Amino acid sequence: MHSRYHRSDDDRNHRRLATSSVFPSSVDPAPSAERSKRLCRGLRTRRGKQKGPKMAQHSQIVITGNVGKEPVRLGAQGGTPMCTFRLASTRSFWNRRTGQWQEGNTTWITVKAFRSLAMNIMQSVKKGDPVIVVGDLITDVWERDGAQRSSMAIEASHVGHDLNRGAGAFVRKQHGGGSSGGGDAERAITGNGMDVGVNADATDEEFGAMEDESGLPRPS
């Protein structure tokens, strides 16, 4: 009876073999404090040498939508060309109940562009065109009737037609300001070759004070 409570030598050898199979001799099942510190230092070193782009301190946005009004050229400050247009972006979602795509609310936002991008927008973009805009989300602030007002806008770095909605022709600009395809090629980009509205005397204050039906500033 007393021998029931003593483990046999075979049982001890079996447990020793099982433990060695789980924790090989090259791996310490209970790392020491010094070993843990070395592992942490190695992780910090590898993390510090990580390559690739770092997060920038700005709010970049990509948005698709339709141009709500003809782009307007504003008075250039210091000779820098600038244009602006209103963009209507409507979110679509799949309605499982009806089995159809459904449109949600429409967001109106002002898009601003400068320099060569502004000049190309004036020649290429028309009211109603589907476009893709990439840029930084900014806040415009101005005063009206003694009160300070503000609205969100996008300072565009890239603007292009949404080719999911149609086809277009690309005209590469030459350094001299002209196009490589001549007048006909320019009309292929702008659609019908009509001149777009230009308001060279508009100021930022006048632009900010104007509102459309949505309550947001509009460039006209």
Q: Taking 70 as the threshold, does the pLDDT of residue 172 lie above it?
A: yes
Q: Taking 90 as the threshold, does the pLDDT of residue 89 lie above it?
A: yes
Q: Taking 80 as the threshold, does the pLDDT of residue 191 lie above it?
A: no
Q: Taking 90 as the threshold, does the pLDDT of residue 109 lie above it?
A: yes
The arithmetic mean of pLDDT across residues 12-23, rounded, is: 52
Label residue 33 by pLDDT band (50, 70, 90): low
pTM score over 0.95: no
pLDDT of residue 29: 52
Domains and CATH numbers, the chain: 60-163+170-209 (2.40.50.140)
Share the mean pLDDT of the chain.
Answer: 70
pLDDT of residue 55: 55
pLDDT of residue 77: 61
158, 134 Cβ separation under 8 angstroms: yes
Residue 129 makes CB contacts below 8 A (sequence gap 6+) with 66, 67, 161
Residue, of 95 and 5, whose pLDDT is higher = 95
Q: Taking 80 as the threshold, does the pLDDT of residue 212 lie above it?
A: no
pLDDT of residue 74: 86
pLDDT in tens, 91-101: 888 888 988 88
Q: Taking 50 as the threshold, does the pLDDT of residue 207 lie above it?
A: no
pLDDT of residue 52: 56
pLDDT in tens, 59-72: 789 999 999 999 99
Q: Taking 80 as the threshold, does the pLDDT of residue 5 lie above it?
A: no
pLDDT in tens, 126-153: 999 999 999 999 988 888 888 888 888 9
Amino acid at 156: A
pLDDT of residue 169: 81
